[in-house]
Amino acid sequence: MQQQWPRTLWIVRHGQSAGNVARDAAELAGLPVIDIEHRDIDTPLSELGKTQAVALGHWFGELPRERRPDVVLCSPYVRARETTRLLLEAAGIDGKSVRVRHDERLREKEFGVLDRLTIHGIRAKFPELSEQRSHVGKFYFRPPGGESWCDVILRLRSVMEMATREHGGQRVLVVAHQVIVNCMRYLVECMDEAQILAIDRLADVPNCGVTSYRYDPEQDALVPDLVNFIAPLRQAGAPVTAAKDVNVAAKP
């Protein structure tokens, strides 16, 4: 019977973005709104984010050719697209040897009315939503016009179904966002709400950190290989960052 799971699955968060930098500055200054000119989808990488993407690309380039990605599934957001481009260029992987697919299902979690607000801004402008979020928990809380983690997981289920249907036996690289990394871990590792939120509370996903899985024929499943792997950045002397994404509110 043909293998249905990808042979290897890497899940990578994009490099540090200009939005990550602006968010940190706004939180530090106690401002209610994140001062950034771009739409979230258009927010580019910072200079450090570019360095991180290149460093990770060198690591992929050092893998034997038979272990490099066959296909890349990428969020359509600029910071993820830039990460993918720089990573592949640094790895020496061209369009003839890898297929790049931009998939809107891998986009950042949508924050609705909370878009661009800091923790201080949410508490000041929408105190009732802050209270509701604390009561319901971030896994199920859906801000008006936005998404809950469950909503994100629902669209990611179809991504995983597509990956098994169209890329079974291939090596698949996913480049996306912090929430996508955690929600895909929830799906692949068959976690429950308590397990994934415990992981989320421990630390933010590092920019250009790698979480990967390999296919185990005995279990007929993907098994964890690397978790938030950042050695390529350290080896290249690229600073490691793990800032929350632009619109992520405080952890409960």
Q: Which two tokens stand for residue 210?
A: 């790698």
Average pLDDT, the chain: 93
User: Model-level pTM?
Assistant: 0.93
Lowest-confidence region among 50-59, 192-201, 238-247: 238-247
* 125 CB-contact burial (10 Å; exposed 0-12 / middle 13-18 / buried 19+): middle
Do 117 and 124 meet the contact criterion of CB atoms below 8 Å apart? no
- Over 70: is that where the pLDDT of 116 sits? yes
* pLDDT on residue 247: 55
Assign residue 232 a region: left if phi > 0, alpha if psi is -120 to 50, beta otherwise?
alpha
- Over 50: is that where the pLDDT of 252 sits? no
User: Residues of the chain with pLDDT > 70: what percent?
Assistant: 96
Structure-token match 């990808």, residue found? 6
* pLDDT on residue 246: 59
